[in-house]
Each structure stands twice: as C-alpha cells, then as structure tokens.
Chains A and B, each alone.
Chain A
Amino acid sequence: MRKARKRQKPSISRRRFLAHAGLAAAAAAAGGAPGAVRGLLAAQAAPQSAQPKRGGTLTVSQSVDINTLHPWVGNLNVWKVIKTGIYDQLSYQDPVTFQVKPKLAKSFVWTDNNTSLVIALPGGVTFHNGEKLTAEDVKFTIDSIRDPRVGSWLRGFIGPIKEVLVLDETHLKIKTAAIENQLIPAFTYVDIVPRSAGTDLAKRTPIGSGPYKFVEWIPNDHVTLERNPAYWNEARAGHVDKIVFRPVTELQTRISQLLAGDVDLVYDFSLQEVPRLRGDTSVAVAVVPPADQMFVVYLNQRRPPFQKAEMRQAMGWALDRQGFIKNFLAGLGRPDNSPFTPQHWAFDPKTEDAYAYNPDTVGKLLEQAGYPRGRGLEFSFLTPSGYPEFKIISTLLQATFASAGYRPAIEEVDIAQWAARLNQSHDFYAAVDYPPRGSTDPALTYSAGLLFPPNPANVGGLTPETIPGYVDELRKGATTLDRGARRAAYAKVQELWLEYLPGPIYCHRSTAHAHRPRVQGFVPHPAFQQSFVDVWLAS
C-alpha cells in the first residue's frame, strides 16, 4: 500500500509552547544544545499522530448520491462505502493484504466431507435497535438474499448455497454440494440485518450491528452516521463521533471543497487530478495500487463480427495500454491481460505479454477474419456518458482500427440506457467497462460479474460451450482448498481465456482519495468496502 505522506507542522498549544520555551531556556542555561528541545518537540509530536483521539465529525465528499437504503439491493460504490460501517458482515477483505478474514464470524470450518460450512458467531452482539444478533438473523439474511423476490444483486454470489441450518444461537451450518471457495469472500458483501426488520428494507431506517448507526439521508445533500457506543467489538469501534457523507457531482467543486477545508476527505476522484493534489501540501493523497478494478472490453458474441476469434483477438492487440496509463491515468495503472496482478497468488506470469499494442497484427487479424482493410466490417463502441476513461479507451481503439482500414463509431448514451442495452437487450457490439474483484479470491472473481462466468448474466454471451474445458477448470479451482491445485486450475483458466479471448482485459487502475492532514488512520479499501473505524481527527 503506497500512501502519500505530507510533511505536517506539529501542532502545539500556547501552554505547551511556553512550557517548551521554559525548557529551552533551562537547557540553554545548562549549556545544552537547542537540538535537545527540537528532539523533545518531535518526541511529543510523534505520539500525537500515533494515539487515536476520539470525537469530531468527519465530512466525506462522494461523487454521487446513494439511490437506496436497501443493504442488499443497492449496488453503488458510494453506498458500499457508507453501509460497510452500518452493518456487520461475516467476513472482510483486508485493505492492505487483500486477504479475506473473518469479521463478524469467529470462524469458518468446512465439515461433513466438505459439504457444509460451519460458521461460529460471537455472543453478546446487539443490533442498533437493541435486539440480540443470533444465528437466526444470519440465516434470515442469507435466505432473503437467495429469494429472487427480494431483488438482490448478491443472489448470484451465494448461488451454491443449498440450505442454511441454525445449530444454536451462535452457530449455523451452510449446506453446499462441495467446498465453494467463493462463499467466504462473497460474505464480505452480505450485510446482516435483524429478522424483525423484514425484507422491505428500502422503506426502513437501516438497522445493523456495525460500529456506526444510521442517522438520516437527505437526498442530494447528505447521509449522516453516528458512532455506535455499544459496539460489540471494542477493538474495532470507531473513533470519530459522526460521519457526514456529501454527494458532490462536480469534480472541481469536490477538490475545491477539500482545498478550502469544507470537507475532510474526497473519496474516489479522477486519477488525472492526483499529480496536482500531490503537489499541494495542504492535502494528503492516498492511492490504492492497481489490483481490483480492471479495464476490459465486452464483445458481443451473439452477433457478427465478434463471433470470430480473430476479431476478438484483434481487439486484444488494438490498445496502447502503456500510452493510456501514462497519459490518461497519470501513470497509476498496470498493463495486464489477466484479472490478477503479480501480488495475487493466482497471477500467471505467462499472461503478461500475451497481448500488447500492435496495429500491424490488428490489420492481419482483420484480413484473417475475412475483413481485409476493414471491408464489410461493421461494429461500434457503446459508452456511457460520465465515464471519460471508457470513452478514451474506445477512442484509442477506434484510432487503431481506423489505421487498419475501418473506423468504428462511438455511441454515447446515459448510464441507464447503457446498462439496459448491455444486460437486457444486448443491443451493442463492444463496450468498455471496469469491473471489480481482481483482488479477491478467484472463485468469486470468476463466479460473479459480467465478464467471466459462462451464464445468462454474461454480457458478451459466453456459454459453457464457448471455451471447451473452461468451466471444468473453474470448478476445479472453486472446489478445492489445495492452493497448488487451485493455482494450476486458474493458470489453465487464464490460458484458455487468452486463447479464445471472449473479452480482452487491458489493464488495472488505481483508485485515489485525498484528505486534510488532520485525518489520520485512513486506509482506503480496494473494493470500496470502506471501514472508517481506524480514522480519527487530529487537532
């Protein structure tokens, strides 16, 4: 984790200053060096930044407003950032190591010949309304998400669950057909609610058991949380009394608010602003290394021309990844052909040079596909407005294909229309996106989302028959605990992917956040499952 640190002036009160001045005078009288006082000041300033302080209000600026209060239905990143503090989840992804660890759960154990996952819960956990959290609440939560009538996007994440059994107040058993490695990482998204709340949660005040309680949502203005003084886990209780999340859509206003001191933290902003803010000593910039979000292009294989492997491969050779990262991501990205980066255990080094920028190869592949100099070719890029990086990649790809003889159009529509055309009507040829989950367990990466799983949700129309052997290798990796076997299975998956290339992966991108120097202990999360419990405000 690379985190920009700015030199800060040590804060000192008038009383302390006079005390130090007295000490300095005494040291000078005793013939001591002034450096002794500087050392004392430094020594006293250091613990101030190390000792978290309780209290204060943290104001966080986000790029858009939330659109629901439903924990399992809302899928915006801005809502994930807020609700992670309101609810407890059974597990969490460590923001530094990216490993998935127990959070509310005390342990996860596979039993019954690896067809059951036993989850142990701590005792003494209460919801914000005072109700006791038990295994019944966890069962209710998981069963509700599995119910299609609830409308949760997480339903596919926990698809392998067959049944949830309550063993006692603090233990439950999840029945599956085999070990399912996607489940524990999927539980990082599952917010536990009291069963008394029912499933119509969008109409209710959010009640969780997390370190922060929901106070209010004023649409287009703010969401307020307050510290939960009765949080069950003392070690993970929050420091700041109140967190106010403000939606500010205009990027320059967000940055101005930070520079003017009107907000404490600007959460997730354009990477192109990073160099400018790094040059400003009044703010600190925190950058998450490129690992989770990856730029890909969905290719619709239900219609020509991307039914042909040569056309898909041409798309793989068409982007100048280095140029894009350098010029449009402020260098804060990494060219990749795999969903994983080298820090990840499933990363296969053979993928590194599988595809690179080569316009000549694009031209040759067009010819092999039966479109010499682009004759007879017809496709376009569909991009959503408000996502400039998608349009930039589409434009770079357009330029490469133009140099090979065919200039595809770029059609820009609003995000709702874009999503409907990608996921419902499938009325598109090619579309750039940056799906998440490159940093989590590969079982979840490949089981959920829009690019990899060969199921009806796959945007490009990938079916189990498209790539022979692909599904078998995915299942091997998802259903064993043997790390070596898993690594081999996912290496094969990546190899098959690059051979058939249903959707080129171009690079990973960082995410950037900036805050005032008084904000201490902020560690950004790669997947927006942000915890603010370690954050505290210095004087």
Chain B
Amino acid sequence: MTRYLIWRGLSVIPTLIGITILVFLVTYFIPGDPARVLAGAEAPPEVVAGLRHQWGLDRPVHVRYGFWMANIARGNLGESYFSHQTVLQLVRRAFPVTFELAMLSLLVALLIAVPSGIVSAVRPRSWFDLGATAAGFVGLSVPGFWLGIMLIYLFAVELRWLPAGGFAPLAGGLAHNLRSMILPAIALGTFASTQLMRYLRAGMLDVLNADYIRTARAKGLAAAMVLVRHAMRNALIPFMTVLGVQMGYLLGGTVITESVFALPGMGRLVLNAILNRDYQVATGIILLIATSFVLLNLAVDLLYPVLDPRVRLGRSTGWE
C-alpha cells in the first residue's frame, strides 16, 4: 500500500515536467504575436519590435523556457503583457467563479444522474430506463451554447425570473450570487449529468448481475440493503473515475458556458489569453489547470483503496 502511494505520488513529477515542456512549446508555436495584437495593425514595425524586445520575445526558445521555469520554481507564474496583473492575481479572481460554477453544476449533475442512473439500472428496459437513456442522448447532443441561450431567453427575457448573464459576487449577498449562477449551473450540469448517468447505469448493471449480489439476495437481505451496501459501493469505482475527470474538466473552466453567461471564470481567462497571445497568462493558467487535473486524478486513484479493499490488499493491482 505504501509503495503504491509513493509510486503514484512520484509518477506525478515527470508528468508535470512533461506538461511544462508541452504547454510552453504549444504556445510558442502558435502563429501570431502579442506585440502586434497590443500595438494593433497600424503600429509601425519599429514599435512592434520595441514591444517584442521589452517582453523578451526576441530571445531563443530555450532561454525563454529556462526563464519561465526559473520563475515557476520561485512561485512566479508570470505577468500578463496586457493587463500587467500577475497570473496568480488573475487566477485568484477567476477561480472562485469557476469553482462555484463547477460545484453547482456537479450538484445539478449528481441530482439528475444518481437517481436516474440507479433506477435505470434496477429497472432495465423499463419505460423509465428508455426515457432516461433517450434524455441522455438528447442531453449529449444538444450544444451547450444553444441550451444556455434558450435558458436565458426563457428565464431572463420572457419570465424575468433570473438575470441574463453576468456574475454577482458573494460579497453582494448569497441570494444575488445564486441567482446569477442558476442558469449556467443547469446548462453545464445537464450536459455533465448525461455522461455520469450512463456510467453509473452501466456500472450498476454490471454489479447487479454479479454472483455476490445474487448471494446477498439469496441470504434474504433487503433489496435496499443489497443496493446501497453491496451494489453501489462497487459501482461507484468507475463512476468516481468519470467524476474525477468531469471535475477536472469543470475546474479548468468551461469556455462556452462562461462565454454564453458572461462569467469571468478560468475558461474565458485562458481563451482570451490564447487569442491575445498573452503567452505568460496562457502558459501559467494551462499549467495550473493541468496540474490540478493531475492532482485530482491522483486523489481519485488514492481513493480507490478506500472504495475497493482489493486495491488495499494488492490482490488486483499487485502493488503489495
């Protein structure tokens, strides 16, 4: 078990180094020039050259990578060429928006996915199962931006119940804040729920047909007890993996939902950074997102032994 934890923890280091190289090179090779973006098309060439020199963009790629890594080692992810705010300042402002959106969306997704996934699995090929599966396909197929715009049109323009976009910070009151997040959370959560529901249903179906469930039923255990204590716990393992991936995806910022609902989150921050070729911000944020993704997956992996005793005993993994 300890070996497993140490190995799993150490494996993160080369992954992160690989990510820094990849992130830096990808942004380096994107055609375009932040100096031209800032100065504009009408700026004389000497003005653009001056800005490039000022920002160190005229240095060789390995020198720039070296400076970037040295700064990261000191905890400095860089500063925007444009707003001159540090990456950490920008993230500090954008992350709470994305985090709140991710949590609320996940809540919406779980509220939809867990009951419908379980009921679908317990009553396969029933009307409910067919309906939930069909709804899942519709949810997967409907473009997020379309659903968002429809929600805005219905609840903001027609009914005037909720705002048509924009973020109200918590400092302005919880109710005000939640009103601004309900529609984006529904738009995003609906999409996320379809995948979760399908995984939970498939996992539950596998487990419910297993011998130990039949044994538990034969022993006379109540159906609810079999479902909750024996079936769900095992079905949760693949579900948790998908949930971890979904969490990482949501925390990385969802560009479309944030754009449609005008939320100042991580997705818009990184999109604008890429479009403006604000390399420092783009690389800094992508690195943070990738790191959080890796760490989340690490956390999920570390949760496996808790959920599955076989991992702890090394029976199925062979780590002990």
Contacts and interface: CB of A to CB of B under 8 A. Distances in A.
Interface stretch (A172-180, A319-327, A416-424): A416-424
B156 A260 contact: yes
Contacts of B90: 219
A257 B153 contact: no
A220 B45 contact: no
Contacts of B260: 250, 253
Interface in A399-457: 413-417, 419-424, 448-450, 456-457
A22 interface: no
B293 interface: no
A154 to B, nearest CB: 9
Given A75-B42, A260-B163, A416 B32 contact: yes
B44 A457 contact: yes
Contacts of A151: 35, 38-39, 43, 47-48, 50-51, 54
Interface stretch (A42-50, A241-249, A500-508, A525-533): A241-249
Interface in B155-211: 156-157, 160, 163-167
Interface residues of A, number: 53
B82 interface: yes
A150 B47 CA distance: 7
A253 B261 contact: yes
Interface in B246-286: 259-262, 264-265, 268-269, 272, 275-277
Interface string A359-381: 00000000000000000000000
A74 interface: yes
Contact of B276 (A67, A221, A253): A67
Contacts of A513: none
B50 A262 contact: no
Contacts of B41: 419, 422-423, 450, 459
A73 B38 CA distance: 7
A248 B84 contact: no
A539 to B, nearest CB: 20
A219 B85 CA distance: 10
A413 B275 CA distance: 11
A415 B33 CA distance: 10
A421 B260 CA distance: 30
B93 interface: yes
A416 B275 contact: yes
Interface in B14-54: 30-48, 50-51, 54
A281 interface: no
Contacts of A219: 83, 85, 90, 93, 264, 269, 272
Given A219-B83, A260-B157, A414-B275, A421 B31 contact: yes
A424 B149 CA distance: 39
A156 B31 contact: no
Contacts of A328: none
Contacts, number: 172
B32 A256 contact: no
B145 interface: yes
A277 to B, nearest CB: 13
A155 interface: yes
Nearest to B93: A218
Interface in A149-167: 149-153, 155-156
A27 interface: no
Contact of A155 (B31, B44, B261, B268): B44
A74 B38 contact: yes
B71 to A, nearest CB: 18
B37 A256 contact: no
A256 B42 contact: no
Contact of B43 (A69, A153, A261, A421): A153
Contact of B262 (A149, A246, A259): A246
B236 interface: no
A68 interface: yes
A261 B162 CA distance: 11
B240 interface: no
B82 A67 contact: yes
B77 interface: no
A419 B43 contact: no
A324 B38 CA distance: 31
B227 interface: no
A191 interface: no
A233 interface: no
B50 A67 contact: no
Interface string A201-241: 01100000000000001111100000000000000000000
A253 B44 contact: no
B44 A220 contact: no
B164 to A, nearest CB: 4
A449 B42 contact: yes
Contacts of A419: 32-33, 36-37, 40-41
B83 A257 contact: no
Nearest to A152: B47
Given A148-B47, A220-B94, A416-B33, 15 more contacts: A149-B50, A152-B43, A219-B272, A220-B268, A220-B269, A247-B262, A248-B166, A256-B157, A256-B164, A257-B164, A257-B166, A260-B160, A262-B164, A417-B31, A457-B43
Closest 6 CB pairs of A and B: A416-B32, A75-B40, A221-B264, A220-B264, A153-B43, A260-B164
